[in-house]
Amino acid sequence: MPTALITGATSGIGAAFARRLAADAYSLVLVARDELRLARAADQLKLRYGVAVEVLPADLATEQGLERVESRLRDGVDLLVNNAGFGHPGHFPDVPVADEVRMLKVHCEAVLRLTLAALPGMRERDRGAVINVSSVAGFFTRGTYSASKAWVINFSESAASDVGNPRIRIMALCPGFVRTEFHQRALMDTSGIPGFMWLKADNVVRAAMRDLALGRRVSIPDFRYKAVVAIGRLIPRGLQSRVSGRIGR
């Protein structure tokens, strides 16, 4: 039975990955900060799908938390989903530097280190996959969040190329607006976002797993956001920045 480790596994896209992979008969390792919520999620998945579920409480913004997850990954997993992430309630440069650094640690350092921890076992077994959850925001300019997600896209494509093994796949997943707790936690006003632009987390995961199977290095779920990214690439960066500044939050 294959094993998948998912960070940020108790809500939103992470929880959707847990449901999908449990349905596909993966054993799960769930990583999140809230130990009680992790235990509830594990119990529900075991009851519904009959799979083995391990919980690993860890704060990926801390050295101790990162080391705990790195250690578990070195024991071997077949799929790593780097999903943990968050947004700021403020705008650069008004966000405290400690909060900015915390974001970079979770979005960038954790993705780098956990991928590196998982790869030796995958290379030894000559198979495996890593899905790094980025965002459509990574194709645009909008503060530290967009910058960190752009790094995830670039890193994923570069790492997939450098590994050079088609049996070990590394992919950046770049969804748009998804119905999760993300925006509420970041105190973002989403009232101005049209209803048709929202995606369901389960649909995002379905698209991600399809694109991973196809060997794609970047997955943009849904034709609407594929069009957004394509159009954005044609817009001058200065204009793009002004537009994203108006609608980004």
Per-residue pLDDT tens over the stretch 132-170: 999 999 999 878 999 999 999 999 999 999 998 999 999
Which secondary structure element, helix H or strand E, spans residue 29, and what is its range? Answer: strand 27-32
Q: What is the mean pLDDT of residues 115-133?
A: 98
What lies within 8 Å, CB to CB, of 145 at 6+ separation is 87, 88, 103, 107, 135, 137
Cis status, amide bond into 2, omega within 30 of 0:
no
What lies within 8 Å, CB to CB, of 181 at 6+ separation is 11, 12
Q: 149 catalytic, yes or no?
A: yes
Q: 145 catalytic, yes or no?
A: yes
Domain that holds residue 59: 3-247
Q: Could you tell me the pLDDT band of residue 190, with boundaries at 50, 70 and 90?
A: low
pLDDT at position 248 is 47
Question: Alpha-carbon dihedral of residues 196, 181, 112, 216, nearest 10 degrees?
Answer: -30
Active-site option among 26, 49, 105, 145: 145
The answer, yes or no, to whether residue 88 has pLDDT greater than 70, is: yes
Active-site option among 26, 49, 105, 149: 149
pLDDT at position 17 is 98
Q: What is the mean pLDDT of residues 86-109?
A: 91
Both tokens assigned to 142: 């909008």
Q: Which bin fits 128, alpha (ψ -120 to 50), beta or left (φ > 0)?
A: left
Percentage of the chain beyond pLDDT 90 is 77
Range of weakest confidence among 154-163, 211-220, 223-232: 223-232
Range of weakest confidence among 116-125, 217-226, 229-238: 229-238
CATH number at residue 133: 3.40.50.720
Q: Note whether 80 and 118 are within 8 A (CB).
A: yes
Radius of gyration (Cα) for the chain, nearest Å? 17
Q: What's the number of domains the chain is made of?
A: 1
Q: Whole-number mean pLDDT of the chain?
A: 91
**Structure confidence by residue, pLDDT tens digits, 22-45:** 999 999 999 999 999 999 999 999
